[in-house]
């Protein structure tokens, strides 16, 4: 029997996504138990709590982008259709008129 990691790549991607985002969330919960730690000034008016929240948001956005691109690569669905008019429209074969 093959290892569990090679059986279902989608489940492996979901586990990676959840782990990457759950660990900083758990650290945030632990840090929020003490208001003095979150209020430590890091640079000017930037506190440790705000800095940690910004880093956690950036990590979430990056991991969501990674997960979505990986899921799309492994999907058997075609790419979504592009609009024919307006912003983001595909260029015409005959050129602009």
Of the candidates 69, 71, 60, 62, which has an alpha carbon nearest to the alpha carbon of residue 10?
71
Neighbours of 17 (CB within 10 A): 18
pLDDT tens, residue by residue, 42-93: 888 888 888 888 999 999 999 888 888 887 777 666 766 766 776 766 666 6
What are the tens digits of pLDDT across the range 25-45?
Answer: 888 888 888 878 888 888 888
Query: Which DSSP state fits 41?
Result: E
Domain boundaries, the chain: 7-74
First to last CA, the chain: 61
Instruction: Output the six-digit token pair for 61.
Output: 């956005």
State whether the Cα torsion 1-9-22-59 is positive or negative: positive
């Amino acid at each position: 029997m093959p290892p569990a990691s090679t059986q279902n790549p989608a489940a492996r991607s979901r586990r990676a996504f959840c782990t990457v985002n759950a660990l900083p969330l758990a650290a945030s919960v632990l840090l929020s138990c003490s208001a003095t730690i979150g209020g430590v000034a890091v640079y000017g008016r930037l506190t440790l709590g705000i800095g940690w929240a910004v880093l956690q948001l950036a990590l979430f956005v990056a991991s969501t982008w990674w997960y979505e691109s990986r899921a799309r690569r492994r999907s058997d669905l075609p790419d979504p259709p592009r609009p024919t008019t307006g912003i983001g429209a595909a260029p015409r074969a005959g050129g602009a008129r």
